[in-house]
Amino acid sequence: MAPLSGITILDLTHVLAGPFASHTLFDLGAKVIKLERPGAGDDTRAFPPFLQGESAYFAALNAGKASITLDLKAAEDRALFERLLAHADILLENYRPGVMERLGYGYETLHQTHPRLIYGAVSGYGHTGPDAAKPAYDMVVQARGGVMSITGEEGGPPVRVGASIGDIVAGMYLTQGVLAALYDREKTGLGAKIDVAMLDSQLAIQEHSIALTTATGKAPGR
């Protein structure tokens, strides 16, 4: 039996960081129900390359998930969402901070009605702080986090890492947080909110750069 057999995830995430996390949790045995917007669905459904008319990129991140469309502003769809919530262990979202609150499904509200629910969120700069409302993309957080300043040739310009580590590392930290919350729930009976910032995740993987600057005062270079 897989480690997460019997765990149900409602996946409101799209593009990469969130879907990477939910795909990892699916690989560990969780049931993932992907909730997509009506019409186009997840943006990555339109990403090339295509195989037999379907996005291979989308499939790489979402294979095995059950997908349905929901409009959380429509009364009928909200009722369905709330029925799904009653059976969910984990909810994942990567909207800008404040969106779920405006829809009436922020963590504080859901914790009152579903105290065992684990709420996992990933965004560019986290749900608190001066940049919380700003959008972010992989290249932006690679640059702001300093990764591009140590990537490339000496004396050359900043270089983006080929793999989308701005998204992927954040997805990995979201996965770790969710697994820790599941373990804690076994002891407390309560869910928790996991708030992962893409920028924080880029800083966390630069152990040598941070140690060098702290110990010597020198900025790391390429």
Question: What average pLDDT does this structure show over 158-168?
Answer: 96
Q: Quote the pLDDT of residue 221.
A: 82
The rounded mean pLDDT for the chain is 96
Is 85 in contact with 11 (CB distance < 8 Å)?
no
Closest by alpha carbon to 171, among 6, 14, 11, 22?
Answer: 22
Q: Quote the pLDDT of residue 147.
A: 95
User: Catalytic residue numbers?
Assistant: 167
**Prediction pTM value:** 0.94
- Percent of the chain with pLDDT strictly greater than 90: 95
Distance CA 47, CA 220 (A): 36
Question: What average pLDDT does this structure show over 163-192?
Answer: 98
pLDDT digits (tens, 9 = 90+) for 14-37: 999 999 999 999 999 999 999 999
pLDDT digits (tens, 9 = 90+) for 77-91: 999 999 999 999 999
Q: State yes or no: pLDDT of 220 exceeds 90.
A: no
Q: How far is CA 86 from the centre of its chain?
A: 22
* Region at 36 (left for phi over 0; alpha for psi -120 to 50; beta for the rest): beta
Q: Quote the pLDDT of residue 219.
A: 86
Q: Which domains does the chain have, with CATH numbers?
A: 8-136+165-202 (3.40.50.10540)
Q: Quote the pLDDT of residue 155.
A: 87
pLDDT digits (tens, 9 = 90+) for 31-85: 999 999 999 899 999 999 999 999 999 999 999 999 999 999 999 999 999 999 9
* Region at 138 (left for phi over 0; alpha for psi -120 to 50; beta for the rest): alpha
- Percent of the chain with pLDDT strictly greater than 70: 100
Distance CA 220, CA 157 (A): 14
